[in-house]
């Protein structure tokens, strides 16, 4: 059968882009959240938004494990062109993301128990604002983001020089630096971040709040350990 449309014709049936339709706008949300039915109510009640988690940084048999919870701040991949190399985390207060589950007008939040914690039917973390304010959390995460960008930005002059020397010496440059106990630029910046987290934790100690170093989480999230001000026995 001859080709009626001539050589080189491509049927738009299988085209990846049909017409001038625009891609839908992506909406950011905390991907650590998930929905679960209440453990103390009938199935007719709305699902709970699980947005804080057991403290697995503590021994499961300890009082610390029983009395503390963990909020996870998600990593962002859309706020700089090298997001795969330079870890950055959300500076939006938990529960206020564009894709968060929010309370409808004139609605009421239902609370319930799940996995030893109290949760609501929205993305707001019950009682968390009473522990750490929006401004305080923003300052902490924003500072961590800036320090991580300084440490891992691939085209910083110091990093480029070290990488070039590493190539020219066949991989011996950093080994020699280690023998001389000279840290690379990235290592120095990462240690500065570790010191900053320690200093923040000293300030937050009266609130029973601890920021877990993002290094311990592989720079995939920032974990905040806190003591809930909500009675789980109510």
Tens of pLDDT along the chain (234 residues)?
A: 555 555 554 455 445 555 556 767 778 889 999 999 876 555 567 889 999 999 999 999 999 999 999 999 999 998 888 889 999 999 999 999 999 999 887 677 788 889 889 999 999 999 999 999 999 999 999 999 999 999 999 999 999 999 999 999 998 998 998 899 999 999 999 999 999 999 999 999 999 999 999 999 999 999 999 999 866 554
**Does residue 193 contact residue 151 with C-beta atoms inside 8 Å?**
yes
Query: Considering the domain boundaries, does residue 208 fall inside one?
Result: yes
Q: Which two tokens stand for residue 75?
A: 């990593």
Query: Considering the domain boundaries, does residue 233 fall inside one?
Result: no
Does residue 148 sit in helix, strand or coil? helix
Query: Considering the domain boundaries, does residue 2 fall inside one?
Result: no
Query: Considering the domain boundaries, does residue 202 fall inside one?
Result: yes
What local confidence, expressed as pLDDT, does residue 109 receive?
78
Query: Considering the domain boundaries, does residue 48 fall inside one?
Result: yes
- Residue 226 CA, distance from chain mean position: 16
Query: Considering the domain boundaries, does residue 68 fall inside one?
Result: yes
What local confidence, expressed as pLDDT, does residue 234 receive?
46
Reported residue count of the chain is 234
Which of 199, 225, 232, 228 has its CA nearest to residue 211?
Answer: 225
Query: Considering the domain boundaries, does residue 12 fall inside one?
Result: no
Domain containing residue 133:
29-226
Query: Considering the domain boundaries, does residue 55 fall inside one?
Result: yes
3-class SS shares of the chain: helix, strand, coil, % to 5: 30, 15, 55
Q: Considering its fold, how many domains does the chain have in total?
A: 1
End-to-end, the C-alpha distance of the chain in Å comes to: 78
């Amino acid at each position: 059968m001859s080709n009626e449309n001539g050589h080189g014709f491509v049927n738009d049936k299988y085209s990846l882009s049909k017409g001038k339709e625009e891609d839908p706008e992506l909406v950011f949300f905390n991907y650590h959240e998930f929905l679960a039915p209440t453990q103390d109510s009938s199935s007719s009640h709305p699902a709970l938004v699980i947005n804080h988690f057991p403290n697995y940084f503590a021994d499961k048999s300890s009082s610390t494990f029983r009395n503390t919870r963990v909020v996870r701040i998600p990593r962002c991949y859309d706020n700089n062109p090298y997001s795969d190399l330079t870890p950055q985390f959300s500076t939006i207060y938990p529960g206020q993301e564009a894709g968060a589950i929010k309370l409808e007008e004139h609605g009421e939040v239902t609370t319930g128990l799940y996995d030893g914690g109290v949760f609501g039917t929205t993305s707001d973390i019950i009682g968390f604002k009473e522990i750490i304010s929006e401004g305080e959390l923003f300052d902490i995460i924003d500072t961590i983001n800036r320090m991580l960008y300084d440490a891992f930005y691939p085209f910083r002059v110091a990093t480029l020089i070290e990488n070039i020397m590493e190539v020219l010496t066949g991989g011996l440059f950093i080994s020699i630096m280690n023998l001389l106990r000279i840290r690379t630029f990235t290592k120095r910046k990462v240690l500065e971040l570790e010191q900053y987290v320690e200093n923040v934790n000293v300030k937050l100690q009266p609130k029973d709040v601890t920021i877990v170093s993002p290094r311990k989480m592989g720079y995939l999230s920032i974990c905040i350990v806190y003591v809930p001000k909500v009675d789980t026995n109510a």
